[in-house]
Every structure is written in structure tokens, then in C-alpha cells.
């Protein structure tokens, strides 16, 4: 079914609710059959759960609310998977190692954001003059 005509479906329900249900089931079954086999079982299970909700519900409103709850549970699981993937793809923060960045003239407060990113050294040998200054855990210079 590529086009859904709400008025047509609503009119069918008003005239013949049994025919509406029969057509609705046929459309659902047709869609499930068209899905890739590896996803079909999951879809069939979800459809079964919705059918059971509809069967047990005391009213259409209760059925809609229970189905909505099922949808939000599924959405929550999807959100958890996305967050897990984001955590796996986000690099871990660098551990503090007691080293502090300083400029070549020995000044600097150790904040790498204070360094001018536009100043790119002409060659890697510029870094050979770097000094390593050890600091304690409290941030004071070690002797």
C-alpha cells in the first residue's frame, strides 16, 4: 500500500466494520511479508503484541494507550542503543599525566587553549627545544 486514504478507510469502517478489520489485517500481513526475512520475525512479534493488547483492552481508548506505551518502550530501547553507540564512538578523555604545555620561551599556564593555533611550526625540529617540567598531583612544580 503506497497511498493511505484516510477518508476511504473511515468510510469503510462506518459502513462495514468487519470489512474494515479484514482489509486492515490483509494490509498488515502484506506488509510483514514484504519485509526482509531478518527483520520479519521481530515485526511479527510486535504485531502479535499489538493484537493481544487490542484483544484484552476494554475499550478502543485503552487499546490505543497500551499500544502507545509499547511504542514508547520501543523508543526508549532505541534511544539506549543510540547512546551506547555514541559512548563507544566518543574518544575517552585524556588522563592527567602531570605534564603542562608551555611555549618555547618558557611561559604559559598549561592551558592548551591559550596557545595560538594559527602558529604552525615550519618543521618538527622546533619541538626539540621543549622542556619537560614535572608537577605534583597538587599542580605544584616538583623539585
Q: Name which of 6-15, 86-95, 112-121 the model is least confident about.
A: 112-121
> For the chain, which residues make up each domain, given as ranges?
6-89, 95-143
pLDDT tens-digit readout, 78-99:
999 999 999 998 887 767 776 6
Helix (H) / strand (E) containing 20: helix 17-34
In this prediction the pTM is 0.54
pLDDT tens-digit readout, 101-111:
666 666 655 45
- Residue 135 CA to residue 102 CA, distance in Å, equals 13
The overall average pLDDT reported for the chain is: 81
- Residue 131 CA to residue 117 CA, distance in Å, equals 20
- Residue 52 CA to residue 63 CA, distance in Å, equals 9
Amino acid at each position: 500500500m503506497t497511498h493511505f486514504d484516510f477518508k476511504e478507510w473511515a468510510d469503510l469502517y462506518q459502513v462495514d466494520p468487519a470489512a474494515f478489520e479484514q482489509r486492515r489485517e490483509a494490509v498488515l500481513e502484506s506488509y510483514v511479508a514484504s519485509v526482509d526475512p531478518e527483520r520479519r520475525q521481530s515485526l511479527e512479534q510486535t504485531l502479535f503484541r499489538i493484537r493481544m493488547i487490542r484483544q484484552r483492552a476494554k475499550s478502543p481508548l485503552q487499546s490505543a494507550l497500551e499500544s502507545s506505551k509499547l511504542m514508547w518502550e520501543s523508543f526508549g530501547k532505541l534511544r539506549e542503543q543510540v547512546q551506547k553507540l555514541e559512548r563507544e564512538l566518543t574518544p575517552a578523555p585524556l588522563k592527567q599525566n602531570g605534564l603542562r604545555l608551555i611555549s618555547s620561551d618558557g611561559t604559559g599556564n598549561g592551558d592548551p587553549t591559550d596557545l595560538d593555533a594559527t602558529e604552525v611550526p615550519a618543521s618538527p625540529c622546533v619541538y626539540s627545544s621543549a622542556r619537560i617540567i614535572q608537577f605534583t598531583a597538587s599542580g605544584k612544580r616538583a623539585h
